[in-house]
Chain A
């Protein structure tokens, strides 16, 4: 499954990175090496970028790039959506 297709707030594990070399390399250097847990926590409006959470850090990548990340072990609803108020 591609990361772009995982439901919001589903946790998965990075299996393989495709796409341009620059993209793969930079993403791995930020710690998103294969085997890392990742979670899509938000999507910008109008087909804008995705917000990811990995290694306790939020980052944003474009939708088409999220399509180049293959993930496995998708756990839907693992993290019950964070309550707005503590």
Chain B
């Protein structure tokens, strides 16, 4: 049937059998640029099964009508050896293990200025009989003393092409080499003179390789070498045959006194060093690019000057997130408000209209509102990564992050957390280790984000007098600063505790490459921004939208059945209700959220909160600043009455016995609760998207809420013991 439709059936057939080409290489060799150049704009972001490492792939149409291939970008790696499940991706994806498709060809991207070190990976792949094409990339940086592709090709017996992916050089040749490689897989060969004793060990391990790994003698030996170099008592690799692991341990034990790792690695480097002169031409210890970089580092890594520059740069990033994003955020909010009002005037007042304006449109607003900060943060991250400065940030900040059991790279996500946890959690993907990423994601929400500011301002403004300490320090400002210090302190504490309990990590040695500075590429940066924004919209956005609608329903149903339904308020953000509601307090009290607030009261009373605050806390799930508008709703204050009247109302609110509901002590307890509880569904949605599970967001919510409850309890009860009300 389908045969009658030209193009449909063949396309489907081709898709099913489309060969996979993986792009592998060390970090910082321009692999992303090359991948982008090969795939154009059709890259798709997926995920490796069972792990949160992203799998980027795209289609490359080969020249001369030789079909198309799927190009897959493998995360950067210095070698195939692995200690953790993330590092294992490199070997699994290149050799087609662990249910990943076996690639027809691997393109190994090599930094032409770092030839010997980069060829180590090439040697490993040739040993494992993986068909490869070598791309000698960034050839423009060594124009004066270029390495010889022909010599590389000769040594390993595989094609080698000089490329300059950033400026588009050598790409036609590379495409042709890929096409040839698909037609006739180039299996190289290289003789590595391992010691005889090591070869006997390797053969003993090769005997017990699982059947799925076996192919031919050379590949079996290479995999046995990989196993010997990677497996031990404490690696975190997955899907490893227990017999294979036992045999590796056995061999290592029998070889006591010999350094097996050194035998393997040093023999390989022996081969590369012996051939280095013919590969690299004249040996130049300081190629021009390096020399410039070293000079720049004299300033940028200078203990005092470098540190000052660093602080200035980070302040700029933070300032941008904090204030530059503001006009765009206001614009988004105004735009959504405009559409909401338009819908209100067009449609009759029904539940459907409320669902549309406050549920759906409100939800869209809740999603889009994050875009300015996400785009800005990834713009800076793109520039920092692409220029090579991000490694310097990790270098400078390592000392500070080390006590937290984190890497210097955790600094940028942590700093961004002071603006908003959502982009900050997305930024954790600049960290390589799974455990470090998780730990950072779990503590970043404790940082005081900008959405907490309006809440802090309301509470502090309403409940604390504008007095001065010792006649100098204004109490209100000091409190605000105190909240920031408190949140940073708690973040550090939480990282210390979580990093030693539920996410224990073996101390990982820091070995950080400081790549030469390069002019950051605007295309790479813009692409990163757009990719991240799309991932957020598509994956976290849907969850946020659904949760907003749920929350709207919680706050609006069941409805109070009074004479005129049009007079009833609908939801947290009463942007659209034109008529001032007669008695909204009863309406919200009547809603599920109100009932939930009432039901929660026994748990909230020890913190000094009443049901109204409970409803405010439920409402603030949409975004923390919504606490303010929900409280306005609870107290029946319209939009036009402004913040001052809400403040007054809060100050004047009395319990049945006439005592004030809100006292400075309640305010302090509420501030502490707000600082610690992860009352933000967008954060939870993003953690879900980044960890691909509901387990971690659930844990995050539980632990922060418990922490907040205990801390508020301590504050409130201690305050009462000290005689405050």
Inside 8 A of A19's CB, which chain B residues have their CB?
509
Identify the 6 closest CB pairs spanning chains A and B, nearest first.
Answer: A23-B509, A48-B399, A58-B514, A28-B265, A60-B512, A45-B303
Chain A, Cβ-Cβ closest to B113: A56
CB-based contact A51/B298 at 8 Å: no
CB-based contact B261/A42 at 8 Å: no
How far in angstroms is the closest Cβ of chain A from B258? 14
How far in angstroms is the closest Cβ of chain B from A78? 12
Q: List 22 A-B contacts (CB under 8 A).
A: A19-B509, A21-B232, A24-B261, A27-B511, A29-B79, A29-B81, A30-B117, A33-B265, A41-B297, A45-B396, A48-B396, A49-B512, A51-B297, A51-B301, A55-B114, A55-B117, A58-B290, A58-B297, A61-B512, A62-B509, A65-B511, A86-B295
Contact with B along A48-86 (1 / 0, CB 8 A): 110101011111111001000000000000000010101
Chain B, Cβ-Cβ closest to A86: B295
Inside 8 A of A7's CB, which chain B residues have their CB?
none
Most chain B CB neighbours (cut-off 10 Å) among A22, A59, A84: A22
How far in angstroms is the closest Cβ of chain B from A63? 9
Measured CA separation A28–B511 after assembly (Å): 11
Q: Is B648 an interface residue (CB 8 A)?
A: no
Inside 8 A of B394's CB, which chain A residues have their CB?
60
Inside 8 A of B516's CB, which chain A residues have their CB?
58
How far in angstroms is the closest Cβ of chain A from B643? 44
Inside 8 A of B232's CB, which chain A residues have their CB?
21
Chain B, Cβ-Cβ closest to A57: B114
How far in angstroms is the closest Cβ of chain A from B206? 20
Chain A, Cβ-Cβ closest to B513: A59
Inside 8 A of B113's CB, which chain A residues have their CB?
56
A30-B78, A31-B116, A44-B301 known; A82-B512 Cβ under 8 A: no
Inside 8 A of A53's CB, which chain B residues have their CB?
294
Q: How many B residues have CB within 8 A of the partner chain?
A: 50
CB-based contact A45/B307 at 8 Å: yes
CB-based contact A62/B117 at 8 Å: no
Which of B269, B303, B399, B515 has a CB less than 8 Å from the CB of A33? B269
CB-based contact B396/A31 at 8 Å: no
Measured CA separation A43–B398 after assembly (Å): 12
Inside 8 A of A27's CB, which chain B residues have their CB?
511
Enumerate B257-313 residues with CB–CB distance to A below 8 Å.
261-262, 265-266, 269, 284-287, 290-291, 293-295, 297-299, 301, 303-304, 307
How far in angstroms is the closest Cβ of chain B from A53? 8
Inside 8 A of B513's CB, which chain A residues have their CB?
30, 57-60
CB-based contact A42/B301 at 8 Å: yes
CB-based contact A49/B395 at 8 Å: yes
Inside 8 A of A30's CB, which chain B residues have their CB?
78, 117, 511, 513
Which of B83, B304, B510 has a CB less than 8 Å from the CB of A49? B510
Measured CA separation A47–B232 after assembly (Å): 32
* Chain B interfacial positions (CB closer than 8 Å to A): 78-79, 81, 83, 113-114, 116-117, 120, 229, 232, 261-262, 265-266, 269, 284-287, 290-291, 293-295, 297-299, 301, 303-304, 307, 391, 394-396, 398-400, 402, 507-516
Chain B at the A interface: SS class? helix
Inside 8 A of A57's CB, which chain B residues have their CB?
114, 117, 513
CB-based contact A25/B511 at 8 Å: no
Measured CA separation A70–B265 after assembly (Å): 18
Inside 8 A of A58's CB, which chain B residues have their CB?
290, 293-294, 297, 513-516
* Chain A interfacial positions (CB closer than 8 Å to B): 17, 19-31, 33-35, 41-49, 51, 53, 55-62, 65, 82, 84, 86
CB-based contact B509/A51 at 8 Å: no
Inside 8 A of B114's CB, which chain A residues have their CB?
55-57
Inside 8 A of B398's CB, which chain A residues have their CB?
44, 48-49, 60, 62
Chain B, Cβ-Cβ closest to A58: B514
Which of B116, B261, B294, B400 has a CB less than 8 Å from the CB of A25? B261
Inside 8 A of A24's CB, which chain B residues have their CB?
261-262
Measured CA separation A22–B398 after assembly (Å): 19
Measured CA separation A59–B286 after assembly (Å): 15
Inside 8 A of B284's CB, which chain A residues have their CB?
56
CB-based contact B293/A49 at 8 Å: no
Chain A, Cβ-Cβ closest to B266: A33
Inside 8 A of B307's CB, which chain A residues have their CB?
45
How far in angstroms is the closest Cβ of chain A from B715? 34
Chain B, Cβ-Cβ closest to A52: B514
A31-B116, A34-B262, A45-B399 known; A59-B512 Cβ under 8 A: yes
How far in angstroms is the closest Cβ of chain A from B265? 4
CB-based contact B399/A44 at 8 Å: yes
CB-based contact A61/B510 at 8 Å: yes
Which of A28, A47, A60, A65 has a CB less than 8 Å from the CB of B261? A28
How far in angstroms is the closest Cβ of chain A from B431? 16
CB-based contact B395/A48 at 8 Å: yes
Measured CA separation A29–B264 after assembly (Å): 10
Measured CA separation A56–B293 after assembly (Å): 11
Measured CA separation A27–B111 after assembly (Å): 18
Inside 8 A of B79's CB, which chain A residues have their CB?
29
Which of A22, A28, A59, A61 has a CB less than 8 Å from the CB of B266? A28
Which of A20, A22, A29, A44 has a CB less than 8 Å from the CB of B265? A29
How far in angstroms is the closest Cβ of chain B from A23? 4
Measured CA separation A53–B293 after assembly (Å): 12
Most chain A CB neighbours (cut-off 10 Å) among B303, B398, B508: B398
CB-based contact A44/B509 at 8 Å: no
How far in angstroms is the closest Cβ of chain B from A14? 11
How far in angstroms is the closest Cβ of chain B from A65? 5
How far in angstroms is the closest Cβ of chain A from B675? 28
Chain B, Cβ-Cβ closest to A62: B510
Inside 8 A of A82's CB, which chain B residues have their CB?
291, 294-295, 298
A26-B511, A44-B395 known; A31-B117 Cβ under 8 A: yes
Chain B, Cβ-Cβ closest to A42: B301
A22-B508, A44-B398, A86-B295 known; A56-B290 Cβ under 8 A: yes
How far in angstroms is the closest Cβ of chain A from B236? 11
Chain A, Cβ-Cβ closest to B514: A58
How far in angstroms is the closest Cβ of chain A from B180? 30
Measured CA separation A86–B286 after assembly (Å): 13
Chain A, Cβ-Cβ closest to B267: A33
